[in-house]
Amino acid sequence: MKITKLTTYRLAPRWMFLKVETDEGVTGWGEPVIEGRARSVEAAVHELSEMIIGQDPARINDIWQTLYRGGFYRGGPILMSAISGIDQALWDIKGKVLGVPVYQLLGGLVRDKIKAYSWVGGDRPSDVISGIKKLKSIGFDTFKLNGCEEMGIIDNSRKVDEAVGVVAEIREAFGNSIEFGLDFHGRVDAPMAKVLIKELEPYRPLFIEEPVLAEQAEYYVRLAAQTHIPIAAGERMFSRFEFKRVLADGGLGIVQPDLSHAGGITECYKIAAMAESYDVAFAAHCPLGPIALASCLHIDFVARNAVLQEQSMGIHYNQGAELLDYVLNKEDFSMEDGHFYPPTKPGLGVEVNEELVIERSKHAPDWRNPVWRYPDGAVAEW
C-alpha cells in the first residue's frame, strides 16, 4: 500500500482536517492545526507531503522519524502540528486496514471509561455559577475555567480579589459536589502567580494550569515548592524532548500535551509513558475537533496515568461549528455521566461527513485569538 494524496480542509470554528488517501482505497483522517495559524500548518502539511507520498502508510514509526529528523530544523508549533495530523491519519489507516480501534494496536484497554471535563465561562470568568448548574444537570462534575482576566506583572489587590471571588463563589454554591481546575492561560507572570496560587489554595482547585508560560517553565518547580495544589502544563510543549526537561525538573503534577500539537499519537503515547515513570498524571489538551478528541481517547484508554479528558462541547471558541457537527457516528462520542467510552469502530473511530467538510471548507473563517492590552496600552497575554 502506498500513500497517494493529502488533502486539507480548513473549517469553522478554528480547525483543519487532513485526508490521507492510499492506492488501495483506504483513507485516514487527521487534525493538524494550531489555533490561529491554520494556514501556516496547512502549508507545512503540504510541504511535508513530498516526504511521504509513495511511502507505505503502515510504517508509521519510520514516517514520524523521517518527518521529524529529516529536516535539519525541527520542532515548534507549526511543524509539530503538521506531523501530528499526518500521524493521526496514519493510525486511522492502520486501524482500518487491520479492522481494530487504535487502542487495540497500542496494547488494549487499561480502563473502561475516562472522565471528561467541561469548560465553563468564557475568556473572562463571569457567570460561571449558572453555567456549572446547566452542565451538572447533564452529568458533568468536573470543570475548568480561566483563573483570571489579564493580570499585570505586578497587579493590585482588586484584581486578586476579583479572581479569588469567582472561585470562592463556586465553592460556596457547590461545596464538594464538583471539582474544577483553574487555567491561568499563561496570562500571569511569576510574581503574581505566587500571590494568586496562595490566595486560591483554600478553595482547593483540582489543579492550576499554565500558572506561567511554558517559556518560563523553570518556575513550575519553584511554584510547586510553594503549594500543594498540582501544577499542570503542556499544551504549548511540542515533543517528548520538551516534556523531558519539565519532567526531570519535577514541578508538574499533570502533563497536558495536545494530540494535534505534540507529535500525534506516536509521540503522545511516549510522553504519557515518560510522565508515568515520574508519577505525573496525563490529561491531554483538546479544545479542538472530533479527530483530535478521538486521538486523545485512544491514548486515554491505554495510559494508566490518564486522569481527565478535555473536550470542546459548548466551549466558548466553538463559533460556527460544534464538536460533532462533521461526525456521522455521533453516538460513539456521546457521554454518560461525564465519561467517554472506548470508540468501537476501526481506526480512530470517526466517520467524517466528507460532503459537509468539503462544503463548509469553502468559507472557513480565519480564527484569531484577541490581542489584549493593559490600560496603559502595553500588550497583555491572552
228 catalytically annotated: no
Residue tagged active-site, from 185, 261, 316, 339: 185
Window contacting Mg ion (CB under 5 A); options: 4-12, 179-187, 300-308, 330-338: 179-187
Nearer to Mg ion, 189 or 209 (CB): 209
66 versus 216: smaller Cβ distance to Mg ion: 216
Residue 183 marked as a ligand binder? yes
CA proximity to 103, closest of 116, 133, 111: 111
Our CB check for Mg ion shows the closer of 149 and 351 to be 149
Residues 27, 270, 69: CA angle, nearest 5 degrees: 70
> Based on CB atoms, which residue is closest to Mg ion, 92 or 183?
183
Q: How far is the CB of 1 from Mg ion (least distance, A)?
A: 38
- Please confirm, yes or no, whether 285 is among the known catalytic residues: yes
From residue 207, alpha-carbon distances to 67, 131, 224, 281 in Å are 34, 20, 11, 11
Helix (H) or strand (E) holding 142: strand 142-146
Q: Exactly one of 46, 228, 261, 285 is catalytic; name it.
A: 285
- Interacting positions 195-214 with Mg ion (CB under 5 A): 209
Helices (H), the chain: 38-52, 60-69, 76-98, 102-105, 128-137, 157-174, 190-200, 218-226, 240-249, 264-277, 290-300, 354-361
Least Å distance between CB 372 and Mg ion?
16
Say whether 325 counts as a known binding-site residue.
Answer: no
Closest residue to Mg ion in the complex (CB): 183
User: Which residue, chain included where needed, has cell 503540504?
Assistant: 46
| For residue 13, cis peptide bond before it (omega within 30 degrees of 0) | yes
Q: How far is the CB of 203 from Mg ion (least distance, A)?
A: 19
Residue 70: helix, strand or coil by DSSP? coil
Residue 183 touches Mg ion, criterion: CB under 5 A = yes
Instruction: Give how many residues touch Mg ion by CB under 5 A.
Output: 2
Please state the closest distance from residue 186 (CB atom) to Mg ion, in A: 8
CA-wise closest residue to 92 among 310, 335, 269, 352: 352
29 — phi, psi (to 5°)?
-120, 140
Give the residues lining the site for Mg ion (CB under 5 A): 183, 209
Query: Which active-site residues does the annotation give?
Result: 185, 285
Q: Which residues are annotated binding-site positions for Mg(2+)?
A: 183, 209, 235
